[in-house]
Structure 1
Amino acid sequence: MACPAAGNDREDRPARAEIGLGLQSDKPAGTYARLARRAEECGFDVLTVFGDLMYQPPIFPLLEMAAATERVRLGPACLNPYSMAPYEIAGQVAALDLASAGRAYLGLARGTWLGAVGIAQPRPVVALRECAEVVYRLLRGDTGGFTGEVFTLAAGTALRYRVHRPDPPLLVGAWGERGAALAGRIAAEIKVGGSANPAMVPVIRERLRAGAARAGRPVEDVGIVLGAVTVVDRDGEAARAHARTEVAMYLAVVADLDPTAGVPADLVARVTALVDAGEHAAAGRLIPDDVLDMFAFAGTPEQVAARAQALIDAGVRRVEFGTPHGLTDGGGVDLLGTAVLPLLRREPVEVLS
């Protein structure tokens, strides 16, 4: 199916929100380029590759996608300062920005599940702040040095190659008050991963406000990005059943992070017990519709567009449709581009009950 025409200039995109795709780094070489070309044809604005533990490092798919596209922004969401040193992070974002002719962004977060590989995560907000400081000093060619509580940069230390830009935009991945306040101070965007809940948007904006005020800038300068598991299909019930199974695997984490969700503790406990026993489909069947819709985009194109539109109406700068996209990855990307995206580019979509 053909994609709707997409403009080549940022001015051709809707001012109120960007629409992005989030990809897991679990695919063979060549697949990323094909998906990226298709997404750009259809008019998506941003392509993200997750930096999840034990998957391919995101730089590989990002470089492949950079070579296959001309317009979309590209970045990892997210790298972390515990498993990768700041100088290496600076090098990777510089490489992506060069390969994409200035379309890169950098995502930083504390990281998850690093205990499985024996990596502790002390003082995460300090580590994130200082990591960003070192990365951007290196990108700017600032040789004055830096002495922090976690990271240092000796005076005279500099990258030994030319960078395309000294300031690719920074995204901070965070849900909590301290992480959001840090984003309010230093980031262009904050990403709340695993949420499709419009009620979280004003919560995050208030959490950004303290940091933005400390930095002396308007809170509106920091774009709010919400992204979550996405499963779209013409068979809406099949899509929602698959999404339930996906959400079951992280419900115990995100339910506690969202102060507006009110997910019953006994439901979380029963879902978690089934997931721990390897009964993922059974765990998913316990998740009711209202809970599913807070933590996933799931159903027919019209249902998925309605949930995304609710986030846009709540004031997000970007909606990110995450893996697995559909009952198959390629089919999901096609349907998002040909059936969901056109609805979001037109008149507001009525939110479905």
Structure 2
Amino acid sequence: MTNDGPDGVSVRGSSEPTRAIELTPEHPPARIAELAACAEREGFDVAFTSSHYFNRDPFVTLSRMTDATDEIRLGPGVVNPYETHPVKLAAQTATIDEVSDGRAVFGVGAGDRSALSNMGVERDRPLRRVLETFDVARDLWDGTTVTHEGTFTARDASLNLEPAEIPVYVGAQGPQMLRMSAKHADGALINAAHPRDLEWASDQIERGLEDRPDEHGEFEALAFASVSVAPEEDDARAAARPPVAFIAGGAADPVIDRHDIDRQAASAVSDALEDGRLTEAFDRVTPEMIDAFCIAGTTETVADRFEAALEHTDGIVVGSPLGPDLEDAIVRASEALSIASA
């Protein structure tokens, strides 16, 4: 997806779909670095590292990933500007750009409301907060001294780093965040896996692109999809249950209705998660939920789903859980992307 403006910052310099992957630091940073090296060998263009307070720190993990790789672009996917001040996020991302010789990308979003509430953090005015965060970050990366009063405050803030040009990707799901990202950011990370959701999101993005200034250049929409791939379909679908439970448990009613999922079944998953009964929540995930919220199956099945997703996006982020065997899943996901792209 592009507008007619001048060339902007992009992950790839070709018309091929972007191949990205999410590596969740639920494992030690050294392990994630190994997986990043594997992803690079398999032809992925960018590796995002997710950010949740209960996992390892994404920027420490990204630092280890830079040491293990040479070309793949790297960045948080996604951080939020509530638990960390936006100026600090800009500095952390610029540091990754420096140590990786200019390979950083910045994935930013509003954050998970329930996770933030665990820390007593209120997620107020998320749309403005995210927009102001990357506007200020861009100024800081340009070498500008910034004073800002809005959803957060920064006074005479500057970075003691060389100027950098870092692509901004907004994690988005709702209509307003999708439109805002299309108008102002370099790309969107669409939190969806099913063609029905991606088609709807694409319509919102097109509306945002109508108001995109020419000077912002090209825009890229990526499906940030939960993916589980394995030699056996049943194994892949079993591995998908935990992430699908969290997706289904937090899904808005219009999304539940879009996929004809039983609302009582979704509520049962949500209630179990809120009570900390994780095993029960995972067991309550239905086949319909897996079909709606994850791309799960064999290489061939996943390739078919990737092809359908690429009808509405410029690329795919292969997201958690990847599969029951992580290295095998990275190889199979790369193969599935090659089939889908062909």
The residue that corresponds to 1:345 in the other structure is 338
Give 3-state SS (helix, strand or coil) of 2:302's partner. helix
CA distance in 2, matches of 1:130, 1:219: 16
CA change 1:125–1:17 in 2 (3 A) is same
Give 3-state SS (helix, strand or coil) of 2:195's partner. coil
The residue that corresponds to 1:128 in the other structure is 130
Cα deviation for residue 286 of structure 1 reads 4.5
Give 3-state SS (helix, strand or coil) of 2:210's partner. helix
Quick check: 1:199 aligned with 2:192? no
* Contact 1:212-1:218 at 8 Å conserved across structures: no
* Contact 1:232-1:332 at 8 Å conserved across structures: no
Give 3-state SS (helix, strand or coil) of 1:115's partner. helix
The residue that corresponds to 1:3 in the other structure is none
Give 5+ residue unaligned stretches, structure 1.
1-8
CA distance in 2, matches of 1:29, 1:340: 22
CA distance in 2, matches of 1:28, 1:130: 32
The residue that corresponds to 2:326 in the other structure is 332
Structure 1 segment 169-318 matched on structure 2, within 5 A: 169-193=167-191, 195-217=192-214, 221-254=218-251, 256=253, 258=255, 260-276=258-274, 280=278, 283-312=281-310, 314-318=311-315
CA distance in 2, matches of 1:68, 1:55: 20
* Contact 2:87-2:154 at 8 Å conserved across structures: no
Quick check: 1:60 aligned with 2:54? no
CA distance in 2, matches of 1:161, 1:274: 46
Cα deviation for residue 10 of structure 1 reads 5.2
Structure 1 segment 150-165 matched on structure 2, within 5 A: 150-155=151-156, 157-163=157-163, 165=164
CA change 1:106–1:32 in 2 (3 A) is same
Cα deviation for residue 281 of structure 1 reads 5.0
CA distance in 2, matches of 1:246, 1:133: 31
Give 3-state SS (helix, strand or coil) of 2:97's partner. helix
* Contact 1:104-1:168 at 8 Å conserved across structures: yes
Cα deviation for residue 183 of structure 1 reads 0.4
CA distance in 1, matches of 2:297, 2:176: 34
Higher mean C-alpha deviation, range 115-124 or range 277-286: 277-286
Q: What's the TM-score, normalizing by structure 1?
A: 0.84
Cα deviation for residue 278 of structure 1 reads 5.5
Over the matched positions of the two proteins, sequence identity in percent amounts to: 26
CA distance in 1, matches of 2:29, 2:50: 16
* Contact 1:86-1:135 at 8 Å conserved across structures: yes
Higher relative contact order (CA 8 A, sep 6+): 2
Aligned-residue CA RMSD in angstroms?
Answer: 2.6
Give 5+ residue unaligned stretches, structure 2.
1-10
Cα deviation for residue 175 of structure 1 reads 0.8
Cα deviation for residue 223 of structure 1 reads 1.6
CA change 1:206–1:221 in 2 (3 A) is farther
Task: Choose the corresponding residue for 1:322, options 315, 319, 335.
Answer: 319
Q: What's the TM-score, normalizing by structure 2?
A: 0.86
Give 3-state SS (helix, strand or coil) of 1:56's partner. coil
Cα deviation for residue 277 of structure 1 reads 5.7
